[in-house]
Structure 1
Amino acid sequence: MKLGAYTACLHDRSLDETLKILGELGLTSAEINAGGFIPAPHLPIDDLLASAGAREDYLGRFAQAGITLTGLNVNGNPLNPDPEVGPKHAADLHRAIDVAAALGVKRIVAMSGLPAGEPGGTVGNWVVNPWDSQYLDVLDYQWQQVAVPFWKDVDARAAAADVKICIEMHPQNLVFNPPTLQRLVEQTNASHVGAELDPSHLFWQGMDPVACVEHLGGLVFHAAAKDTRINPDHVKLYGVLDDRFTRTAADADPLNIGGKNTLNQWPKNAAWEFVAVGRGHSVKDFWVPFLQALHAVDPDMAVNIEHEDQEFDQVEGLRLAADNLLAAGARAGI
């Protein structure tokens, strides 16, 4: 099993400096962004597609640092009905498959996407409580007319490239839990689409990530190491569907995530928040059994830290997460 990091939190550093940092932290795996919501400064896509020599040089930089390139990440919304967003994110996913095949990388992390609720709609519609039959009509449209055809095509592309697409079960997507992941695989008859098991988004929805791994079994292709802390005093008032996000002011350099869309600000006194490995759930009680469950599915699986803990800077947060992840790996005997 490879324990490493997704390098998006170090996009202000060069690739070589980033790999050096990962190695100094005792990590052996890297996941590199390939498009979607954010740019890909650590992946010179055009050069890699154009030149075998460029690919050899690129992979050589990883080998020299003692790091294995275990995945590309292209999280975005390829089903977004906004013509400035959906087609670009879909093209990024298609191109990531080509780059992965050229590099010999076998895993691509993606999101399932979220379409509009009806033909001609311009904004995604996330239905999670379809108590009224009209919402089942929305889901039928989203799945049968948009998601299934798109993902059948992606699965065919991935199979031809010998690459597996690992879907992060993420809210504001059609696939956000094990049943919706299984639904996508079954309805597309996919052979090369499965799950990236990121426990952080499962925790705040009330799921047990270890039970999810055991339930999905061989559909788990890849994993993330990101923790979530539930804040009991705040969740009593706001619940986990806390909508108190605010817009990022223009003079605060909001992060563009496609078209005219920007990343919003997290609520104060949040009901839950992303934290470094071990700061939401203990190494002994969660991270050890989580790694053991993943290892039972695939002893060669990569587990990459995704650092989004706002209380630490990039390297401090990575160091804390790495220390706890490596301690969990040692205790898990993997």
Structure 2
Amino acid sequence: MHLGLYTAPLHDRPLADVLPIVAEAGLDAVELNTGGFLPAAHIPVEALDGDPAAAREWLRVFEGTGVSLQGLNCNGNPLHPDPRTGERHAEDLRRSIRVAGALGQTRVVCMSGLPGAEPGAGQPTWVVNAWSSRALDVLEHQWEVAVPFWTEIDALAAEHGVTVALELHPQNLVFNPPSFLELLERTGARRLGVELDASHLFWQQMDPVHVVRRLGRHVAHAAVKDVRINPEAAWCGVLDNSFRRLSPDEPRTQIGAEEFVNEWPSASAWDFVALGRGHDAGYWAEFLTALAEVDPEMAVHIEHEDTSLGAVEGVQEAAAVLMEAARVAGLR
């Protein structure tokens, strides 16, 4: 099993400086961003696209580091109805698949995307609870948009020897196991799998260990990020919209055309936290054991999004818990 880091929290420094941090934390792999919501800060995707010779040369950056490349990440919304976002994210994903093939990589992580509610819509619409017949109409339209795209992506992935691993992420058409299986049923896809990020399952009240064992072979990749449910959840529940819009003169992350990440609620119902701050090493040992039962060579990467910790500090804290979990599980 490969235990590593999705390097997005360290985009402020070059990859050559990131790899020693990863190795010193006891980790042996990295997953690199190749487009979508975030820029490809650690890999020259345009230069590598379609050029296996350039890809082989670039891979030398890993020689002697004790760290290997284990997957590319292109999280975005390739089904966004605004073409300035949707078409760009879709092309980023296609390019990521081609680059993965050139690099000899077999996994590209992404999100399923989310269309608008109807033809001509300008913004995505997430149906959270389809209790009305109109909501089912919206979902059917969204599937009509999604199926041709993901059928195309499945064929492209097969051409390049890649499995596309969909993160079960809210605000996407595919956000839980049933919606993933529905995508497979509607498309007949053979190169689509799941990137099992436990954090998004936690706050939706799913059990990641149960999900891994029930999805089985469909789990192709994994991420470890923890969640802490706060007392405020007793008041507002986990579906909380008390985010604050950041102004143009504040630091903010752009994720699409005229779209930016909002400030997290100050009294949040739940938070992303470093590994061990929501679930102890014993729990993560169960998670790793379940993943190893599916694939002993599974890549499992830390995603650091605990805003109370600095980037390097957060990676180190999470890595210590992950390595202890691997030891308890008998994987190290």
- Whole-Å Cα distance in 2 between the matches of residues 128 and 247 of structure 1? 22
- Name the residue aligned to 1:13: 13
Query: Is structure 2 residue 304 aligned with structure 1 residue 307?
Result: yes
Q: Mapping of 1:1-334 within 5 angstroms? A: 1-49=1-49, 51-143=51-143, 145-231=144-230, 233-284=231-282, 286-334=283-331
- The ranges of structure 1 where at least 4 consecutive aligned residues each deviate by more than 3 angstroms after the TM superposition are 50-53
- Whole-Å Cα distance in 1 between the matches of residues 66 and 260 of structure 2? 36
Deviation of 1:55 (Å): 1.6
* 2:64 aligned counterpart, secondary structure: helix
Return the letter of the residue paired with 2:329: A
- Whole-Å Cα distance in 1 between the matches of residues 306 and 89 of structure 2? 26
* 1:126 aligned counterpart, secondary structure: coil
* 8 A Cα contact 2:49 2:95, kept in partner: no
- Whole-Å Cα distance in 2 between the matches of residues 180 and 46 of structure 1? 33
- Whole-Å Cα distance in 2 between the matches of residues 115 and 12 of structure 1? 32
Return the letter of the residue paired with 2:149: F
- Whole-Å Cα distance in 2 between the matches of residues 305 and 226 of structure 1? 6
Deviation of 1:301 (Å): 0.3
Deviation of 1:47 (Å): 1.8
RMSD of aligned alpha carbons: 0.9
- Whole-Å Cα distance in 1 between the matches of residues 274 and 292 of structure 2? 21
Query: Which of 233-242 and 42-51 deviates more?
Result: 42-51
Superposed CA offset, 1:256-305 (max 9, x none): 11111001000011000101111111111x10100000000000000000
| Distance of aligned partners of 1:133 and 1:50 in 2 relative to their CA distance in 1, 3 Å threshold | closer
| Distance of aligned partners of 1:101 and 1:84 in 2 relative to their CA distance in 1, 3 Å threshold | same
Return the letter of the residue paired with 1:261: E
* 8 A Cα contact 1:185 1:194, kept in partner: no
Return the letter of the residue paired with 1:74: C
Deviation of 1:49 (Å): 2.5
* 1:279 aligned counterpart, secondary structure: coil
Deviation of 1:140 (Å): 0.7
- Whole-Å Cα distance in 1 between the matches of residues 93 and 19 of structure 2? 24
Return the letter of the residue paired with 1:326: M
- Whole-Å Cα distance in 1 between the matches of residues 52 and 234 of structure 2? 56
Return the letter of the residue paired with 2:207: D
- Whole-Å Cα distance in 1 between the matches of residues 328 and 232 of structure 2? 33
- Whole-Å Cα distance in 1 between the matches of residues 193 and 169 of structure 2? 13
- Whole-Å Cα distance in 1 between the matches of residues 39 and 318 of structure 2? 24
Return the letter of the residue paired with 2:64: Q
Return the letter of the residue paired with 1:305: I
Superposed CA offset, 1:21-61 (max 9, x none): 10111110100000000100101012222644432232111
Return the letter of the residue paired with 1:237: W
* 2:165 aligned counterpart, secondary structure: strand
Query: Which of 204-213 and 181-190 deviates more?
Result: 181-190
Paired residues in the alignment total 331
- Whole-Å Cα distance in 1 between the matches of residues 178 and 161 of structure 2? 25
Structure 1 portions without partners, runs of 5+: none
Taking only the aligned residue pairs, the percentage that are identical comes to 53
